[in-house]
Amino acid sequence: MSTTRTVVFITGANTGIGYQTVLHLLKSDLPYHIFLGARSDEKSNKAIETLKQEVPYTTSELTPAVVDLESDDSIERAFKAVQTVTDRIDVLINNAGVELDSVGPQNGLSTREIFDKTWTTNVTGPHILTAKFIPSLIKSSNPRLLFITSGTASFALSQNPEFILNKYPVAGWPKPHQRELPAYKASKVGLNMIMRDWHRILKNDGVKVWTVNPGLVVTGLGGDPELLRKIGAGDPSGSGEFITAVVEGKRDQDVGKTVQRQWLYGNILPF
């Protein structure tokens, strides 16, 4: 493999924000070797096929990668598969995540199951994946570690009564139905703290670490794109462009922080 290419491993890259991130990396003037992570080989290869059709002129390279963040064995296999190609990665993007508060009940999941599955995918899985890939990451001359978070994890935003998710329900119990995301929001708060720990742990290794809030955008996350549009969600293409900008050094002054596209609370979310 060429040593001039920036090596990227990104999870959840077959759809949504992850897909758009890969798309913008392929459009960049810089050459990349991207390991496109998905939960199955079929999903990863299908995304790669579509991306090659969208950006046939790219000088970057794509390699399928299978990784299920709920499985330590899957994470181990993904690491070993990458090792057969390269012992170095330059950028690790923990993008994959789930929002089960909305669709979990209709799929028969209990509240405990929703919290457990959300946490293992959004926090525990990225933490274990990161720990596994650290030996490859610190071999880079310019290592970068990104965790994709959410504006709903902002304590400042949670105090804004105008935000759609912060409406006060009427008194009494049970409460009338409205969109609530307790498991998802809690998991992203946890992910922000995971980032802070990795920033501290890897500081003397020269690894640049962030959480990145891609903004409120329309994806399949949560299972209701139309509702997302109604509350002002944008196109995920802008999120992919922003994450690419972080990868390419545009937010190096904000290492160790949560950075975001301009949305409601400026560029830096308070912890």
Q: For residue 220, what pLDDT is reported?
A: 63
Q: Decide if 1 is inside a domain.
A: no
pLDDT of residue 116: 98
pLDDT tens series, the chain, 271 aa? 557 899 999 999 999 999 999 999 999 999 999 999 999 999 999 999 999 999 999 999 999 999 999 999 999 999 999 999 999 999 999 999 999 998 899 899 999 999 999 999 999 999 999 999 999 999 999 999 999 998 887 777 777 777 767 788 889 998 777 678 899 999 999 999 999 999 999 999 999 999 999 876 556 665 566 655 555 556 666 889 999 999 999 999 999 999 987 654 444 444 3
C-beta separation of 35 from 63 below 8 A? yes
Q: Exactly one of 60, 136, 140, 150 is catalytic; which is it?
A: 150
Residue 83 domain flag? yes
Domain count, the chain: 1
* Residue of 22, 34, 44 whose CA lies nearest to 237: 22
**103 within a domain of the structure (yes/no):** yes
| 27 annotated active-site | no
What single DSSP character describes residue 167? P
Q: Distance (Å, rounded) from C-alpha 185 to C-alpha 99?
A: 9
Q: How many CB atoms lie within 10 A of CB 55?
A: 18
Query: 37 in helix, strand or coil?
Result: strand
Domain of residue 77, residue span: 6-260
DSSP state of 139: T
pLDDT of residue 159: 79
Q: What is the pLDDT of residue 153?
A: 79
- Tell me if residue 184 is catalytic: yes
Cα torsion angle, 75, 93, 142, 199, sign: negative
Residue 264: per-residue pLDDT: 42
Q: Which of 43, 185, 188, 257 is catalytic?
A: 188
Task: Say which CATH number the domain at 209 has.
Answer: 3.40.50.720
- pLDDT value of residue 260: 86
Q: Of 187, 180, 175, nearest to 163 (Cα)?
A: 180
How many other C-beta atoms are found inside a 10 Å radius of the C-beta of residue 120? 17
Number of CB atoms found within 10 A of residue 113's CB: 15
Instruction: Exactly one of 184, 185, 187, 208 is catalytic; name it.
Output: 184
Separation between Cα atoms, residue 257 and residue 263, nearest integer Å: 16
Tell which residue, 67, 64, 201, has the closest CA to residue 138. Answer: 201
150 carries an active-site annotation: yes
**Residue 270 counted as domain residue:** no
Question: Is residue 207 in some structural domain?
Answer: yes
pTM: 0.91
| Domain assignment of residue 110, yes or no | yes
Partnered with residue 213 across adjacent β-strands are: 260
Residue 198 within a domain:
yes
Which phi and psi angles does 197 have, rounded to 5°? -65, -45
Q: In this structure, are strands 6-10 and 91-94 parallel, antiparallel, or unpaired?
A: parallel
- DSSP per-residue codes, 109-133: --HHHHHHHHHIIIIIHHHHHHHHH
Residue 40 lies in a domain: yes
